[in-house]
Structure 1
Amino acid sequence: MHTKITGSILVLFLLVSCKSDKKKEEPDTWRTKKAAVENATHNQLLDVEKEQGWELLFDGKTMDGWHLYNDPNADSVWEVVDGELHSNANDESLTAGDLVTDKAYTNYELSLEWKISGNGNSGVFINVQELPEVPTAWQTGPEYQILGADHMDYDVPEKRPGCLYVFLPQQNEVEVKQGDWNKTTIKQVDGKISFYLNGVLTAEQDFNSPEWKQMIAESRFSNYPEFGKTTEGKIALQYWYFETWFRNIKIREL
């Protein structure tokens, strides 16, 4: 009898001990994952990315390689804060405008992450022609739409995030992660573009096609003679009155 009781107590002790160890293990695992997210390295390239031809367009410290459209010496709304490229919408003394790359690109894959205020509106313009007689980047460059989930245009099909702005609705439906980071990928090869939002294909178009020329002719962009005419140009980040954050901006030429 004594032996049976002792055995039962031993089994019970082992079960309690295992459960206790499991309880301890789960928080440790959670903290490890949380720490990995918090300490993730941004604005740097992995060795494999370098081998694949990727180049950083933002080093997380400076705005080298970028300038304000048509105003390179301006004290602009764009700044670097905590490793993020930020549009400062709170200081009216700063010069507002879109941020454009120093270099022009033709065939490439662009990757970046962005976060935006709930009612914010931004975008990525491609094939931008920086010309003194053209006052804004959007008058030449088609736009990858970036939009906050609370913006009044969020449910307008041709203005949803990831769209080829005002021309095409989302090819596949996808929502933004409001208050969190979203990933944009833009590919252009011989004038054929593909847009992705958080890994989902959202738009495709051939900028050399008669269809594209007709789409422009039937839109308000027909009033801007330089719009959408080339398959080479600079890349611009749009400023539009509300805060937007960018990081991990990189490109590889194809």
Structure 2
Amino acid sequence: MKFSSFIAAVFICMGLACSNPVSEPNTLTEKEKAEGWQLLFDGKTTNGWHMFSKPEMKHSWKAENGELTTASSDTTGTHGDIVTDAVYANYELVFEWKVAREGNSGVFINVQDDTSYMATWATGPEYQLLDNQNAKPGYLDGGKTGAGALYGLTPIKNKVEPKAAGEWNQSKIIQVNGKISFWLNGAMTAEEQIGSEQWNKMVAESKLAVFPDFGKATKGHIGLQDWAKGVSFRNIKIKTL
């Protein structure tokens, strides 16, 4: 290649790089905005989220270093699950998460935010977040409670491991008319239809059967679990389908 051609190629590549910048955490590209994506976390505040069934209560979740996070050692607020102010039915939700060593958390969908329910998990199915590598022996329950699982109902569909504790994972949840699919680091981990014969059978045979309204709604709040050791989220984005 001639030197002049080489220089031209370099400038072309630089131009392309400038026109396709890497998105900063907790921001939307112009393309994402055009496609209808919305941020559920602005990277700076906990706006848009509140304590489950207690919207006025000060909770322990914080926005720190561009992360929506909580830790068991934090005593500045009440510990508990938080949920979105808004409700959602048909959508694609993407988010990044990491847990501390031995961390255990979850993302709930279709949560009914009502004081008549004791917790988020009394109504909303859970996308499990877990430090698989350091889970207690037997805890994974054949894959039903590992990272990416539809918690307590069915083993993950495709073998995939979460990143080590403290490293970011990429997850996705899609729901359309009650058909849900979970994804972890590019692999589908669950796919079920809420209300189907198979769904009802799974719920009835699980420990979640003690909650009469569990897994019946196909619309509700999205919840984040404050459970053990600490968890952080970023790049929480949703698009209505």
Work out whether the TM-score is over 0.5. yes
User: Which residue of structure 2 aligns with residue 146 of structure 1?
Assistant: 129
Residue by residue, what CA displacement relative to the aligned partner does 1:215-234 show, whole Å, maximum 9, x if unpaired? 11122211111100111111
The reply on whether 1:67 has 2:46 as its aligned counterpart is no
More displaced 10-residue stretch of structure 1: 53-62 or 69-78: 69-78
* Cα distance in 2 for residues equivalent to 1:212 and 1:159: 17
1:71 CA displacement: 1.5
The reply on whether 1:51 has 2:34 as its aligned counterpart is yes
Equivalent position amino acid for 2:83 in 1: V
Larger radius of gyration: 1
* Cα distance in 1 for residues equivalent to 2:135 and 2:100: 9
Query: What secondary structure, in the 3-state scheme, does the structure 2 residue paired with 1:48 have?
Result: helix
* Cα distance in 2 for residues equivalent to 1:40 and 1:140: 35
1:243 CA displacement: 0.8
Match of 1:202 among 189, 201, 206: 189
* Cα distance in 2 for residues equivalent to 1:208 and 1:225: 13
What TM-score do the two structures reach when normalised by structure 2?
Answer: 0.86
User: Which residue of structure 2 aligns with residue 218 of structure 1?
Assistant: 205
Q: Kindly tell me: are residues 92 and 131 of structure 1, through their superposed partners in 2, closer, same or farther at Cα, counting changes over 3 Å? A: same
* Cα distance in 2 for residues equivalent to 1:247 and 1:234: 18
Query: What secondary structure, in the 3-state scheme, does the structure 1 residue paired with 2:209 have?
Result: helix
Query: What secondary structure, in the 3-state scheme, does the structure 2 residue paired with 1:159 have?
Result: coil
* Cα distance in 2 for residues equivalent to 1:157 and 1:110: 22
Match of 1:176 among 162, 168, 179: 162
1:235 CA displacement: 0.4
The reply on whether 1:97 has 2:80 as its aligned counterpart is yes
Structure 2: which 5+ residue stretches go unaligned?
Answer: 1-21
User: Does the CA contact (< 8 Å) of 2:83 and 2:222 recur in 1?
Assistant: yes
The reply on whether 1:116 has 2:103 as its aligned counterpart is no
Runs of 4+ in 1 over 4 A off after TM superposition: none
Match of 1:163 among 133, 140, 149: 149
Equivalent position amino acid for 2:175 in 1: Q
The reply on whether 1:228 has 2:211 as its aligned counterpart is no
Q: Kindly tell me: are residues 40 and 53 of structure 1, through their superposed partners in 2, closer, same or farther at Cα, counting changes over 3 Å? A: closer
1:154 CA displacement: 4.3
Structure 1: which 5+ residue stretches go unaligned?
Answer: 1-38
1:83 CA displacement: 0.8
Equivalent position amino acid for 2:153 in 1: F
Q: Aligned Cα RMSD in Å?
A: 1.4
1:94 CA displacement: 2.4
1:204 CA displacement: 0.3
* Cα distance in 1 for residues equivalent to 2:167 and 2:207: 33
User: Does the CA contact (< 8 Å) of 2:80 and 2:225 recur in 1?
Assistant: yes
Q: Give the percent of matched residue pairs that are identical in Structure 1 and Structure 2.
A: 48
* Cα distance in 1 for residues equivalent to 2:23 and 2:65: 13
User: Does the CA contact (< 8 Å) of 1:147 and 1:154 recur in 2?
Assistant: no
1:75 CA displacement: 2.0
User: Does the CA contact (< 8 Å) of 1:125 and 1:141 recur in 2?
Assistant: yes
Equivalent position amino acid for 2:117 in 1: V
Equivalent position amino acid for 1:196 in 2: W
User: Does the CA contact (< 8 Å) of 1:106 and 1:190 recur in 2?
Assistant: yes
* Cα distance in 1 for residues equivalent to 2:153 and 2:161: 19
* Cα distance in 1 for residues equivalent to 2:141 and 2:201: 25
Equivalent position amino acid for 1:78 in 2: W
Between Structure 1 and Structure 2, the one with more helix by share is: 1
1:92 CA displacement: 3.5
Query: What secondary structure, in the 3-state scheme, does the structure 2 residue paired with 1:133 have?
Result: coil
Residue by residue, what CA displacement relative to the aligned partner does 1:194-249 show, whole Å, maximum 9, x if unpaired? 10001111000000311111211122211111100111111001110311010000
